[in-house]
């Protein structure tokens, strides 16, 4: 079946630190992979996505590369800001169908 395993938080970093949030997946076929961000009190927003192996999704300084050999889609940012404080969800959409599977979310707090 399809599932997503995400690094547990919470994560606390100082401003300008490097961020990595690990995400691995289990899926049949070739899923599409996503990172969503949820700011306090708001719904989820798509941060970036990748639809095939070796694709790199990027947005707002965040990057993630679809690694089929390690079934991973780790989120990285070189220099975090206070405004990046949020909960980050890794998700996959199966090769067939349109249902999404979410990880448990990782809370990030960036302190000045």
Q: What's the min distance (Å) between Cβ of 94 and another protein?
A: 11
Q: What's the min distance (Å) between Cβ of 47 and another protein?
A: 12
Using the minimum distance from each CB to another protein, give the nearer residue, 51 or 79: 51
**Residue ranges that bind another protein, judged by CB under 8 A:** 32, 36, 42-46, 49, 51, 89, 93, 98-100, 102-105, 107
Q: What's the min distance (Å) between Cβ of 104 and another protein?
A: 4
Query: What span, in angstroms and rounded, lies between the C-alpha atoms of 16 and 19?
Result: 9
Using the minimum distance from each CB to another protein, give the nearer residue, 19 or 106: 106
Query: What span, in angstroms and rounded, lies between the C-alpha atoms of 3 and 66?
Result: 15
Query: Which are the contacts of 62, defined by CB distance < 8 A and separation ≥ 6?
Result: 35, 47, 48, 75, 76, 77
Least Cα distance to 12 among 62, 73, 68, 82 occurs for 82
Q: What's the min distance (Å) between Cβ of 78 and another protein?
A: 26
Using the minimum distance from each CB to another protein, give the nearer residue, 32 or 64: 32
What is the CB-side half-sphere exposure of residue 65 using CA atoms within 13 A? 4
């Amino acid at each position: 079946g399809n599932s997503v395993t995400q690094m547990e938080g919470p994560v606390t970093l100082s401003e300008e630190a490097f961020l990595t949030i690990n995400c691995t997946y289990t899926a049949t076929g070739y899923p599409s992979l996503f990172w969503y961000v949820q700011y306090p009190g708001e719904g989820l927003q798509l941060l970036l996505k990748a639809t095939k192996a070796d694709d790199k999704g990027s947005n707002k300084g965040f990057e993630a590369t679809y690694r089929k050999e390690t079934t991973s889609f780790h989120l990285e940012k070189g220099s975090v800001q206070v405004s990046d404080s949020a909960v980050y969800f890794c998700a996959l959409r199966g090769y067939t169908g349109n249902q999404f599977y979410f990880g448990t979310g990782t809370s990030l707090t960036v302190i000045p």
